[in-house]
Structure 1
């Protein structure tokens, strides 16, 4: 789509001319076309002023989008091999300030898990070294973030961020004392960068001086771990006075303990970090440590030694009950699909050894609807610094009688769609599907069904008239001669709620909690086969008002089509009416009536 927008009269001071464009491309390859190679694309790219100047955008949800993203991906899997290669191009746009983030080319090479020491012809028991497994993943990335008008003026060497990363995880699982699983693992990472930054302090200028050198630099790290886990089963049979419908309740506990550690990659031995001294405003000599690879694509290893132990406990609770459909059958009901609690302790840290407590909960409430809830619990207290800002201090909450932990963040989101079949039973759902299929004029209905048991054809006349697209019948008629009233509709809700720290309460020396909510909903209803009504809206819980709402009405007039869109609330309150011929040869035969985009704005 190409758009030219002209304001004012040519020659006047307020005259301006803008050119914008939009590219939409969606591609999905059939897996049967080439089993070894796949190509997919989802492109939505617009220039910065396109949405603001395109009047049709006012009546679609895209008008309120602040970000747009585009992705093109191609993957090739080598036949009879563990290797695969993929390349991706990504473009992210922020329309508020015309910022582009382009990442191209991105290359990924991966090798699926192999057992390098496994014998091809095994004789006897499996050796311990045959259980060692490893895989490989390699990435190359090249990206740039810049404003749209200066994007092509950036230097490929100095401004673009690029780098490569190689990752090799090695692990094995051994059975210990029959019921315990022991898993040692080693993770090796290697990063490759093309520039390095050294910093020093210039006392004459009282400023930091940077020196960037370009070359080839390797930044590698590793981490080792050892984990031990098992499963504990508990069974509980309810008492008889509760009834015999519940047969058994099973509780599965999966405790896991793991040890992990790595050296201090901030030491001068590795050369990833540098140091310099400078005089602060109080006249004191201060040492500062800095990374020689700032803004690196794949980051740098962290500073400080790590030697921690982690504990986690996963729970699963199921109930076995008698089936209603079969008196002799049984079925399982999930009470708690998963409830996990985890925490770690870092022996190598000087302070703040305990990590926050992390919990996750998953419940299967109804069919195709799960509740996922993740929460983080803060285990340390806070004090005010000399400047009056809250600071987390090395005093656990349980030492001052404030409990084990305080909820610091949690949240969940879910969506659900209601339609004609939501509140119907199985037979009614199938019946409703048949009605909708006849409404659409489906040709898979048996022609013989047009006749009743007596051989008369009064019911079939209406059906064949609908198949021929006759204009004298706009409703569906049942076999009994009465109108078949079936109105397809759907209503979708999307809701998310999050809890987190808000403002700091100096009296309680705690953060006050803050709840944020988001609600959007959309719907569609088709009272007849030619009429269609739809809407989409979002609700702002802070202002307690509808933030945006868009309504659409369409009517199929056989050779013509008529649509009307309007925004009833908000600063972009407006309408748009369109009627045109369906035929592409007569696409210019149309009538449009729309309000001005400035009608809904209050001028002061």
Structure 2
């Protein structure tokens, strides 16, 4: 074999004539495209059609075996141990590693490294890494991830996801074998916490260690409002945070707020966790109770359905308070809350002349049942019971609706419906009414009611009922009650039952109705009542003492009454059309609806239940004869001994209008209400010997200004005159030189609600402003305490719970709306109320009350709001209860200042704290309570 010199080869090539072989080049390119299109790297393409194996038929002919042949002996020994007790070593990689990138993927077989560039992604088991660049080192089983650097800086920060935990670092090193990671400049969010750390060591998906970490609840991680600097941190995702020495920085400025260690439970599921409730520290300067701790205690997460908070207060002068609060709920069945408050208040110091001790308490319970839980039975409760002076003297709350309200009320009821013909309804109710001024308490323990559905004995089995006879119906109602009237001082003692009343009332109404002359509706009814009572009296004149003696008689007694009534009424429609040919007026039509009704009532006199006794002087001469009934103290009142034959007249009015719509695209005119109702009523007693005509009572109401303003008014007009002693006489006022009627009383109430949306373009009448979560809680708290649903008397604030209005910004994800530079709209709202009452029964001719109240808020900036609630007493020439509110949204923090500058309730409260529930104990609160008022 000979070797040819390279020079010879080159020479030969140089001397050859060069030419292009187009056919061979075309075949080579076609082959390359074919291979790239239909080939799969390291993958076997699935067959297009499944090849089934050929079925082999078994031979049914059997060949008998030769008996001389010996059986084959298996000489191979079998191992008696079937399963090896030694576990096989775990494979290096438990799953396939998936990787991809938008830029390029570079494989280096020599170094066993894979480099991913631009939007790279690696997935391995439950781990996923996305980054600008990723390097996979198969020799060391390490994955490196980092950012991309360009002219603007760094981009495509790595995102490390393992299970449900997500971390956004600058770079990361992950070991596929041990599944541990070292993370640099990591950022993660856990249960509202945003955590940053320069170096993070991740042992596994349930244990993380950090050094020099920074915690915050701020959404702006680059420039947070505050941070908690932690030297060492142990983080168990979804369970807890264990912190070493830590301190707080506000806008980068260190503060003296520091802790040697801390523990923060993280609750990522729906179940709550029990824990300590950190108290608030303060100094009660106004009432000299000294230093105090308030609202400290423990929270018990009993179950998914009920919880319990036990809170307490303590003052250095010996005063203390205890509070139990519980919420419970069972979805689709019921929900409610319970609260018990007890306070033992000491004023001044023991041994001083002004020392006093007072114990007050309050019980509140609310329970509501889902209507679908049990359609035939229902249980509900609304309880507000306690000391009459609780809301005036309690030192741990300031709820204006509570202490301005003079009445506490409660109701607990259970009702059951028994289906059938007729239907039977049974209810059991316990009620409570308490006046905080007079300290009078009225209880019904309980009230039992039964009603049987209407029965039509003469109605046809099929079709509608017609005529008097077929519409005759009757039903049965009964009401049993045990009523207690007592005072606050006797409540809870046996003495409260001394004057209790008990009785049962049975009622059977019989009614019918029919049409008369097609346009008149006639109804007639007769009502039978039987009253059972256990409380009667006996009255006589004691001649020895010359006094009338009344004694109580306990025992069963009863009386029966009945009456008859009938009425006839109709509806009259009046329509006035303003439309004319060729004209389109603003007011197109006005409709007036009149509903007159005439009634007649007959109630006989029941003289058989009345007795008389004579008053005899010392000489034995009868001077007077007194009539009485033994049923004066009965629960449902005494029967009447006077015949009443009365004719009543009532007229109802309603006026509506159709006006041209401002929107030209609306085909139909807009209907508005000019007068919602205007009612007149009076009666004339034929059987009375004097003052037969009853006063005329008028009432009415309407809504104007797109239903934003409500107007209600009423008046009483008396046709009879007064004598010189201002007593009513049987002489018409017009015959006594006066007018036709004498105005004895009148009142008017006007309320107006408006906001910045009221005057905006495109504002619709039926558009309602969305209520925030804080506003809803404050409104429910006010109603539950017996106060008003609006804030004309101030915003309800319970300092123990820090229920504070947030102007609709309770949602941290809510973003500020972008406003035009030259059309910036400042949000505001205003509620106005005007009330006046006039009295002239006995020529008083005076205005008994006259006041103007207002409440409003204005949002000066997206984060700053100012509000006020006040009024002016036009009768007494003074300012009514006034409350000023200032609030600043500090992003992660909230600052609130409430000030009551006037009256004996003068007080103020300042609060600043973190919004997050996990750090709600990081707060500062200072307040001055109103001076203590001791009840009589």
From 407, 415, 420, the counterpart of 2:751: 415
From 548, 555, 567, the counterpart of 2:900: 567
From 634, 646, 649, the counterpart of 1:311: 649
**For the Cα contact (< 8 Å) 1:25–1:43, is it kept in 2?**
yes
- Find the counterpart in structure 2 of residue 460 from structure 1: none
- Mapped to 1, the partners of 2:721 and 2:768 lie a distance apart of 59
- Find the counterpart in structure 1 of residue 262 from structure 2: none
Q: CA 1:314/1:116 → structure 2, altered by over 3 Å: closer, same or farther?
A: same
Answering whether residue 375 of structure 2 is matched by residue 35 of structure 1, we say: yes
- Find the counterpart in structure 1 of residue 735 from structure 2: 399
Corresponding residue SS for 2:402: helix
Q: Which runs of 5+ in 1 are unaligned?
A: 438-465, 505-510
Q: CA 1:183/1:220 → structure 2, altered by over 3 Å: closer, same or farther?
A: same
Q: CA 1:141/1:242 → structure 2, altered by over 3 Å: closer, same or farther?
A: farther
- Find the counterpart in structure 1 of residue 527 from structure 2: 187
- Mapped to 2, the partners of 1:467 and 1:226 lie a distance apart of 58
- Note the alpha carbon deviations across 1:391-416, whole angstroms, 9 max, x for none: 21111123334332122122232433
From 335, 358, 373, the counterpart of 2:713: 373
**For the Cα contact (< 8 Å) 1:279–1:286, is it kept in 2?**
yes
- Note the alpha carbon deviations across 1:22-49, whole angstroms, 9 max, x for none: 2233333332333333333333333244
**For the Cα contact (< 8 Å) 1:381–1:395, is it kept in 2?**
yes
- Note the alpha carbon deviations across 1:339-377, whole angstroms, 9 max, x for none: 333332211111111111222334343444553332221
1:100-249 aligned at under 5 Å gives the runs 100-121=441-462, 126=466, 128-155=468-495, 158-238=498-578, 240=580, 243-245=583-585, 246-249=587-590
Q: CA 1:431/1:163 → structure 2, altered by over 3 Å: closer, same or farther?
A: closer
1:445-456 aligned at under 5 Å gives the runs none
Moved more, 357-366 or 345-354: 357-366
Q: CA 1:537/1:402 → structure 2, altered by over 3 Å: closer, same or farther?
A: same
Corresponding residue SS for 2:490: helix
- Find the counterpart in structure 2 of residue 441 from structure 1: none
Using the TM superposition, give the Cα deviation of residue 287 of structure 1 relative to its aligned residue in structure 2, in angstroms. 1.9
Using the TM superposition, give the Cα deviation of residue 201 of structure 1 relative to its aligned residue in structure 2, in angstroms. 0.6
Aligned length: 553
**For the Cα contact (< 8 Å) 2:714–2:748, is it kept in 1?**
yes
From 520, 524, 544, the counterpart of 2:853: 520
Moved more, 363-372 or 482-491: 482-491
Q: CA 1:134/1:331 → structure 2, altered by over 3 Å: closer, same or farther?
A: farther
- Note the alpha carbon deviations across 1:226-248, whole angstroms, 9 max, x for none: 22223344444448599543554
1:32-111 aligned at under 5 Å gives the runs 32-58=372-398, 60-79=400-419, 82-111=423-452
Moved more, 313-322 or 224-233: 313-322
Moved more, 132-141 or 581-590: 581-590
- Note the alpha carbon deviations across 1:199-236, whole angstroms, 9 max, x for none: 00111101111232222222331111222223344444
From 664, 686, 700, the counterpart of 1:347: 686
**For the Cα contact (< 8 Å) 1:57–1:63, is it kept in 2?**
no
Moved more, 286-295 or 78-87: 78-87
Q: CA 1:425/1:210 → structure 2, altered by over 3 Å: closer, same or farther?
A: same
1:381-392 aligned at under 5 Å gives the runs 381-384=721-724, 389-392=725-728
Corresponding residue SS for 1:399: helix
**For the Cα contact (< 8 Å) 2:745–2:841, is it kept in 1?**
no
Using the TM superposition, give the Cα deviation of residue 184 of structure 1 relative to its aligned residue in structure 2, in angstroms. 1.6
Using the TM superposition, give the Cα deviation of residue 425 of structure 1 relative to its aligned residue in structure 2, in angstroms. 3.3
Using the TM superposition, give the Cα deviation of residue 57 of structure 1 relative to its aligned residue in structure 2, in angstroms. 3.9
Corresponding residue SS for 2:722: strand
Using the TM superposition, give the Cα deviation of residue 263 of structure 1 relative to its aligned residue in structure 2, in angstroms. 1.0
- Mapped to 2, the partners of 1:436 and 1:218 lie a distance apart of 56
- Note the alpha carbon deviations across 1:419-444, whole angstroms, 9 max, x for none: 2322223369999979999xxxxxxx
- Find the counterpart in structure 2 of residue 263 from structure 1: 604
- Mapped to 2, the partners of 1:152 and 1:488 lie a distance apart of 51
- Mapped to 1, the partners of 2:912 and 2:588 lie a distance apart of 64
Q: CA 1:130/1:571 → structure 2, altered by over 3 Å: closer, same or farther?
A: same
Using the TM superposition, give the Cα deviation of residue 10 of structure 1 relative to its aligned residue in structure 2, in angstroms. 4.0
- Find the counterpart in structure 1 of residue 299 from structure 2: none
Answering whether residue 909 of structure 2 is matched by residue 540 of structure 1, we say: no
Moved more, 306-315 or 344-353: 306-315
- Mapped to 2, the partners of 1:297 and 1:141 lie a distance apart of 8
Answering whether residue 622 of structure 2 is matched by residue 289 of structure 1, we say: no
- Find the counterpart in structure 1 of residue 200 from structure 2: none
Answering whether residue 931 of structure 2 is matched by residue 594 of structure 1, we say: no
Using the TM superposition, give the Cα deviation of residue 493 of structure 1 relative to its aligned residue in structure 2, in angstroms. 2.4
Corresponding residue SS for 1:151: coil
Using the TM superposition, give the Cα deviation of residue 332 of structure 1 relative to its aligned residue in structure 2, in angstroms. 4.1
- Mapped to 2, the partners of 1:85 and 1:398 lie a distance apart of 53
Q: CA 1:118/1:219 → structure 2, altered by over 3 Å: closer, same or farther?
A: same
- Find the counterpart in structure 2 of residue 457 from structure 1: none
- Find the counterpart in structure 2 of residue 456 from structure 1: none
Moved more, 421-430 or 130-139: 421-430
- Mapped to 1, the partners of 2:879 and 2:458 lie a distance apart of 63
**For the Cα contact (< 8 Å) 2:536–2:634, is it kept in 1?**
no
Using the TM superposition, give the Cα deviation of residue 532 of structure 1 relative to its aligned residue in structure 2, in angstroms. 4.6
From 640, 653, 672, the counterpart of 1:302: 640
Corresponding residue SS for 1:152: coil
Q: Which runs of 5+ in 2 are unaligned?
A: 1-340, 774-808
Moved more, 17-26 or 231-240: 231-240
Using the TM superposition, give the Cα deviation of residue 330 of structure 1 relative to its aligned residue in structure 2, in angstroms. 4.0
Q: CA 1:328/1:548 → structure 2, altered by over 3 Å: closer, same or farther?
A: closer
- Mapped to 1, the partners of 2:467 and 2:816 lie a distance apart of 72
**For the Cα contact (< 8 Å) 1:475–1:484, is it kept in 2?**
no
- Mapped to 2, the partners of 1:477 and 1:40 lie a distance apart of 42
- Mapped to 2, the partners of 1:524 and 1:567 lie a distance apart of 16
- Find the counterpart in structure 2 of residue 452 from structure 1: none
- Find the counterpart in structure 2 of residue 461 from structure 1: none
Corresponding residue SS for 2:491: helix
Q: CA 1:4/1:417 → structure 2, altered by over 3 Å: closer, same or farther?
A: same
**For the Cα contact (< 8 Å) 2:507–2:529, is it kept in 1?**
yes
1:453-464 aligned at under 5 Å gives the runs none
Q: CA 1:49/1:303 → structure 2, altered by over 3 Å: closer, same or farther?
A: same
- Mapped to 1, the partners of 2:526 and 2:851 lie a distance apart of 42
RMSD: 3.9
Answering whether residue 591 of structure 2 is matched by residue 254 of structure 1, we say: no
- Note the alpha carbon deviations across 1:171-198, whole angstroms, 9 max, x for none: 2112223333332211222222111101
Q: CA 1:341/1:579 → structure 2, altered by over 3 Å: closer, same or farther?
A: closer
Structure with max Cα Rg = 2
**For the Cα contact (< 8 Å) 1:77–1:83, is it kept in 2?**
yes
Using the TM superposition, give the Cα deviation of residue 304 of structure 1 relative to its aligned residue in structure 2, in angstroms. 0.6
- Mapped to 1, the partners of 2:672 and 2:819 lie a distance apart of 42
Answering whether residue 616 of structure 2 is matched by residue 275 of structure 1, we say: no
Moved more, 344-353 or 484-493: 484-493
- Mapped to 1, the partners of 2:430 and 2:855 lie a distance apart of 32
